Amino acid sequence: MILREMSTRYGRTPGGFLWSILEPLAAVLFLSIGFSLVLRSPDLGTSFLLFYATGYMPFDTYQVISNTTARALGFSKPLLKYPSVTWIDAILARFILNSLTNVVITILLIGGILIAIDSRTAIDMAPAIEAFALAMLLGLGVGTINCVLSGLFPLWAIIWSVITRPLFLASGIFFLYDTMPPLAQKILWYNPLIHIVGLMRTGFYPTYTAAYINITFVLMVSLILLTLGLILMGRFHRVILNR
């Protein structure tokens, strides 16, 4: 199923996997060039490229995993007619492929940026790895429960797309949580992605101490969503597939 996912996603367009690298690279370049025209320096460090890459990549990992996982049953519906193939296989295939792909893309992108800017900063990989693991887990949890809800209520996919559009602006990609007004901090603290992005940046900026980060909160939200999604999927997957 993973090989099928790979051939379907990367084998239909010229360049295949290359576009998966160029897309986030273009996004980071666009943000860096745009904000460098109005700001003298980013909130951390001196490189706009590194600042936005460390914010955009964990967010993009969450976004890609949650979106692809939410469409897992619909995508693999023909294969799920075989008794040996289960709905768990469909979800895991998409989760594993997109997780590994985004890890490779992030290593290539941020590694290339560090070489380009000739950064000699000591990087702590532990927080970065932890941030990516949390982004994957959150994406899996959100994607699994959305897979059930959109299967039972097709309108839910549109509603979710609309209500989560502000996440790109509210997840700390463009700014630091610490620089926001107190009221905004109280509201945004409940966005798990703000914690993930902050944790990611602590690994690349040794002087940055994000005291607001609460890993337990992110884990609890992710595991609750994943558990609820798995329970509902086990109960309603046949109903969804028979529609």
Give residue 218's pLDDT. 97
| Averaged pLDDT, 184-212 | 93
If pLDDT is split at 50, 70 and 90, which confidence band does 15 have? low
Number of folded domains that form the chain = 1
**Spatial CA neighbour of 48 closest among 169, 204, 174:** 174
| Averaged pLDDT, 94-104 | 91
| Averaged pLDDT, 168-194 | 92
pLDDT of 26 higher than 80: yes
| Averaged pLDDT, 15-39 | 76
Give residue 31's pLDDT. 79
Exposed, middle or buried: residue 117 (CB in 10 Å: 0-12, 13-18, 19+)?
middle
N-terminal to C-terminal alpha carbon distance within the chain: 22
Q: How many CB atoms lie within 10 A of CB 95?
A: 22
Average model confidence (pLDDT) for the chain? 88
132: tokens are: 């990516």
If pLDDT is split at 50, 70 and 90, which confidence band does 4 have? confident
| Averaged pLDDT, 11-31 | 74
Percentage of the chain with pLDDT > 90? 49
Domain that holds residue 78: 2-241
| Averaged pLDDT, 153-172 | 91
Give residue 60's pLDDT. 93
Measured N-to-C along each axis, helices 215-241 and 192-202 cross at an angle, to the nearest 10 degrees, of: 130
pLDDT of 12 higher than 80: no
Close Cβ partners of 46 (under 8 Å, ≥ 6 residues apart):
none
Close Cβ partners of 80 (under 8 Å, ≥ 6 residues apart):
73, 86, 87, 90, 241
State whether the Cα torsion 28-29-34-35 is positive or negative.
Answer: positive
pLDDT of 64 higher than 90: yes
